[in-house]
Structure 1
Amino acid sequence: MASLTLLAPFLVLLAGSAAAKSCTDFIIPVDILSRQGLFKKVPLETNLDVTAFAQELLRNGQNYTATLLEDYQTLKGSYKISAKFCHPEGGIGESVVQLLSHGIGFDKAYWDLPYNDYSNSYTDAALKEGYSVLAIDRLGIGMSSHGDPFNEIQAQAEVEALNAVTTKLRKGEVPEIGHSFAKVIHVGHSFGSIQSLWLSALYPNNTDGLVLTGWAATGDFTSVFWAGWNMHSARLNQPLRFGNASSSGLLNTYSAWKAGDALIKGIQMVLNKLGVGLSPDTIWEDIATTEVSNLIRGYNETTTPLDYASGYVSWSDFTANQFCFLHKGHYDLGLGLFSEANKQPMTVGEALTIGSFPQRSSFSGPVLVFTGREDLPFCGGDCLATGTNATSIPAGAKALFPKATPFEAYIQPDTAHGINAHYNATGAYQVINSWLGAHGLGA
């Protein structure tokens, strides 16, 4: 039975860890040079503006990227990449490191989820195999440098930032780590997988192995994904977290909503007086699975608002979250709600450039594509429904890696796009790290 107690994970970042590890958070400065698009800006101040942008993005027969593209530019600048480095408690393995890149809607915490004592932590699974890991907030997201959402934070710029971090790891130029690594394995999820592929195409000698999770080479289902998002302005979706909580009026407006249990009881009391008998379960559905949840239970207590500009967008609510990322009945509802509370936006510049990744990589090392069978954005809900003799939709990515040795596509059952939120996530972690060890990339 649904209960508001399931909202409690929204706020809880458990202090303990199921695995013995040592972790440090820090900033990595990077300099990037990126050749990328110069787009005409369109209004994105309101949710209706953002909806209009989504309509144009999905309009049949139109390439909205080409419509808005005015010219090309060379972006040059210095940026900060927020990172979390973890190594086994016994010490840093100096030879191999996994560099983890999250997908759209997440930040670096995707790889080390604190929910339920880190029971779904990919980081912990990698550390148990002896790896050190570095998880980053992609450029423009989370605690990394933000920027102009049209003409600065685009896919190409993020790839250049990822490459710069990779080079620093190899050269031992991250003072907080104090070691150089002979091998860097790029592990990505979704957009992070696209960027890892992109890096391998531009800089094939700067990666030693690719694990591309939540990804396939096809873009046939992109419009379904974007439509399911029900795209909103991030700063309006979670105004005190994504916006700027310095507005005392806004803070006062939502401060009375912070006690979720009390809110449920108060609503029920009022409805009972009006003769409307709604159960706690019904009220829970009205709150937790709608955008109302984005305005209560802790978002008003954000101590460091992320202050995203107009042009940073997010999906609307938890129902959109499930549609795009989760397989009902096969994920922890509490973890799903936690993910909704801690979600991250994307930029419209990313939306316009995400499909520009190279269609061929000369990388000759090991490549594993790991995708949930019920993945929506890359498989339309069934990665085995190929309509051809191919073993799976992700297996078609082999054409992008003609020199990869080996290439393998693995399909995880009962798993949708947000792999790490599902009950069998730890099984996925075991498959990935065992595969790495079996192909010359063990810690």
Structure 2
Amino acid sequence: MAPLRTFSPLVLASFAAARQCSQFQVPVDISSRQGKFSEIPIETNLDVGAFATRFSEFQGNYSDALFTDFQTLKGSYEISAQYCRPDSGSSGTIQVLTHGIGFDKTYWDLSYQNYNYSYVNTALAAGYSTLAIDRFGIGNSTHGDPINEIQAQAEVEALNAVTTKLRNGGIPQVGTAYDTVIHVGHSFGSVQSSWLSALYPNNTDGIVLTGYSGAGQFLPYIIAGWNLHSARLNQPLRFGNASNAGLLKLAKQYGMNIDLVSGLQKVLGAAGVDLTTQEIGDIVSSTEILDLITGYNETVFQYNYPSGYLASSDLTALQYAFLYPDNYDLALAIMGEQTKQPVTVGEILTIGNAPMMSTFTGPVFVITGEHDIPFCGGNCYGQVPNSTAANIPAGVEMAFPSASTFDAYIQPGTGHGLNFQYNATAGYQVIQDWLASNGLGA
């Protein structure tokens, strides 16, 4: 098992140059009308567990119980972005890519196996430019108060502000204005893309919602299945502000900065614990040990998230929420666990506030994995009560009564995290083909 981010910056730079990619911060001013919630204990993992228990209570409404008033959040923030265009130049059409919970903008451009799982590469090959963002509050974008600042509505306003700048040529690093903007989301990013189309229907030309449906009753499945921890306690050397100097010294002493498994085997051997390489690998990959030691590598950025930023517990929770068993590469899943991102309390409390209907008049496409847990309860071919739709993703059509075209597609043998499954690129091509056939070709 290779340690996180062992590739050289030079290699990354040359690959990005071949695709005409760059990363930068986009300054945005936002004004968001959103909720004001009571402060709750959220420091320890037991505090987080108590929050999850109360939020997931059957027929309960913890968001309403904590709500005290409305507030208007105003401020200037920065959104981290990666912009890519084909070698041939811009076609005037761009896909804005918004990630879901547990990931950042790299979800769309996974470096694993020389970018074989990259959605960005497929879009570029089809002639599109792409702009992938870290959602407001997450990754390298501006962080904030995890209860009363980083909420769903504020993130939608940030997404809209970035979109407006793309249209009017207001991002210097992009260097051009885009006439056609397609919003592609995953999971919570799909919620926000749909939300944007409801509030600002003239600021998008097409909507692609991956890992999504209109069924909200499965959210408690995920809140429970994540076994949520405080992010800064789950990955203290990456998410928190704990010093990694001592661990880094130990890692170098035993060679863990080169080979994590054999290095850990030496450490345990010195303590009289004799385990095989396979046993060590199983312990590291499938328990919280992986998260506790993630961050020893001196090149890893330290996020220093405050309490109230939450993270799923370990790789087993990642599999439950995002990956269909036997249809993913374990090494890629381990990388996903090492590079995961948190969710805020405020996001969980407000994710259900999205408008029920959108007046958007352009094309809408939903593509969701057959075994998606968060939006289908593990069976997207099922039907929810009081729905006449053929399947759960098809029910989204009711939220877009004015759409010029609506289609729903179920990706076979796939879980929620479509981009991490073996058949990811097949799904990517379905999206590009659908766009081209509905007047949104590059």
3-state SS in 2 of match to 1:241: coil
Tell me the alpha carbon deviations over residues 80-117 of structure 1, each in whole angstroms, 9 at most, x when there is no partner. Answer: 00111000112122x21110000001101111111110
Structure 1 position 198, deviation (Å): 0.2
Q: Which amino acid aligns with 2:168?
A: K
Structure 1 position 123, deviation (Å): 0.4
Q: Is the 8 A contact 2:238 2:295 kept in 1?
A: no
Following superposition of structure 1 onto structure 2, how do residues 5-404 of structure 1 map, counting pairs within 5 Å?
5=1, 7-8=2-3, 11-12=6-7, 15=12, 17=15, 20-93=18-91, 95-245=92-242, 247=243, 251-253=245-247, 255-257=249-251, 259=256, 260-266=260-266, 269=269, 273=272, 278-296=275-293, 298-386=295-383, 390-404=389-403
3-state SS in 2 of match to 1:266: helix
Q: What does residue 435 of structure 1 align with?
A: 434
Q: Is the 8 A contact 1:11 1:298 kept in 2?
A: no
Separation (CA, whole Å) in 1 of partners of 2:126 and 2:169: 22
Structure 1 position 9, deviation (Å): 5.6
Q: Is the 8 A contact 1:221 1:376 kept in 2?
A: yes
3-state SS in 1 of match to 2:20: strand
Structure 1 position 255, deviation (Å): 4.5
Q: Structure 1 residues 11 and 392, CA, compared in 2 at 3 Å: closer, same or farther?
A: farther
Q: Is the 8 A contact 2:99 2:189 kept in 1?
A: yes
Separation (CA, whole Å) in 1 of partners of 2:367 and 2:5: 28
Tell me the alpha carbon deviations over residues 361-389 of structure 1, each in whole angstroms, 9 at most, x when there is no partner. Answer: 01011000000101111111110122676
Q: Is the 8 A contact 2:235 2:295 kept in 1?
A: no
Separation (CA, whole Å) in 2 of partners of 1:391 and 1:12: 46
Structure 1 position 12, deviation (Å): 4.4
Tell me the alpha carbon deviations over residues 139-187 of structure 1, each in whole angstroms, 9 at most, x when there is no partner. Answer: 0000100000010000000000000011111111111111111110000
Tell me the alpha carbon deviations over residues 264-305 of structure 1, each in whole angstroms, 9 at most, x when there is no partner. Answer: 42266368x56xx64322232122111100122544525531
Separation (CA, whole Å) in 2 of partners of 1:101 and 1:362: 21
Q: Structure 1 residues 101 and 33, CA, compared in 2 at 3 Å: closer, same or farther?
A: same
**Does structure 1 residue 408 correspond to structure 2 residue 407?**
yes
3-state SS in 2 of match to 1:38: strand
Q: Which amino acid aligns with 1:89?
A: D
Separation (CA, whole Å) in 1 of partners of 2:235 and 2:294: 11
Structure 1 position 38, deviation (Å): 0.4
Tell me the alpha carbon deviations over residues 295-328 of structure 1, each in whole angstroms, 9 at most, x when there is no partner. Answer: 2254452553111110000000000000100011
Q: What does residue 425 of structure 1 align with?
A: 424
For structure 2, the residue ranges without an aligned partner over 5 or more in a row are: none
3-state SS in 1 of match to 2:408: strand
Q: Is the 8 A contact 1:383 1:411 kept in 2?
A: yes
Structure 1 position 60, deviation (Å): 2.2
Q: Which amino acid aligns with 2:48?
A: V
Separation (CA, whole Å) in 2 of partners of 1:303 and 1:20: 25
Separation (CA, whole Å) in 1 of partners of 2:94 and 2:284: 42
Separation (CA, whole Å) in 2 of partners of 1:170 and 1:132: 13
Q: Which amino acid aligns with 1:433?
A: Q
Q: Which amino acid aligns with 1:411?
A: I
In the alignment of these two chains, the number of paired residues is 431
Separation (CA, whole Å) in 1 of partners of 2:219 and 2:93: 35
Q: Which amino acid aligns with 2:232?
A: R
Q: Is the 8 A contact 1:151 1:349 kept in 2?
A: yes
Q: Is the 8 A contact 1:299 1:341 kept in 2?
A: no
3-state SS in 1 of match to 2:301: coil
Over the aligned positions, Cα root-mean-square deviation in angstroms equals 1.9
Separation (CA, whole Å) in 1 of partners of 2:60 and 2:261: 47
Q: Is the 8 A contact 2:98 2:134 kept in 1?
A: yes
Tell me the alpha carbon deviations over residues 46-93 of structure 1, each in whole angstroms, 9 at most, x when there is no partner. Answer: 111111111111122320101111110011111100111000112122
Structure 1 position 192, deviation (Å): 0.3
Separation (CA, whole Å) in 1 of partners of 2:359 and 2:116: 37
Separation (CA, whole Å) in 2 of partners of 1:126 and 1:384: 28
Q: Which amino acid aligns with 2:400?
A: F
Percentage of identical aligned residues: 55
Q: Which amino acid aligns with 2:417?
A: G
Q: Is the 8 A contact 1:235 1:243 kept in 2?
A: yes
Structure 1 position 251, deviation (Å): 3.5
For structure 1, the residue ranges without an aligned partner over 5 or more in a row are: none
Q: Structure 1 residues 8 and 252, CA, compared in 2 at 3 Å: closer, same or farther?
A: closer
Structure 1 position 42, deviation (Å): 0.6
What is the TM-score with the length of structure 2 in the denominator? 0.93
Structure 1 position 239, deviation (Å): 0.8
Separation (CA, whole Å) in 1 of partners of 2:163 and 2:147: 26
Q: Which amino acid aligns with 1:77?
A: G
Tell me the alpha carbon deviations over residues 9-32 of structure 1, each in whole angstroms, 9 at most, x when there is no partner. Answer: 664476364994110111111110
Q: Is the 8 A contact 1:240 1:302 kept in 2?
A: no
Q: Is the 8 A contact 2:36 2:67 kept in 1?
A: yes
Separation (CA, whole Å) in 1 of partners of 2:245 and 2:44: 20
Q: Which amino acid aligns with 1:355?
A: G
Structure 1 position 414, deviation (Å): 1.2
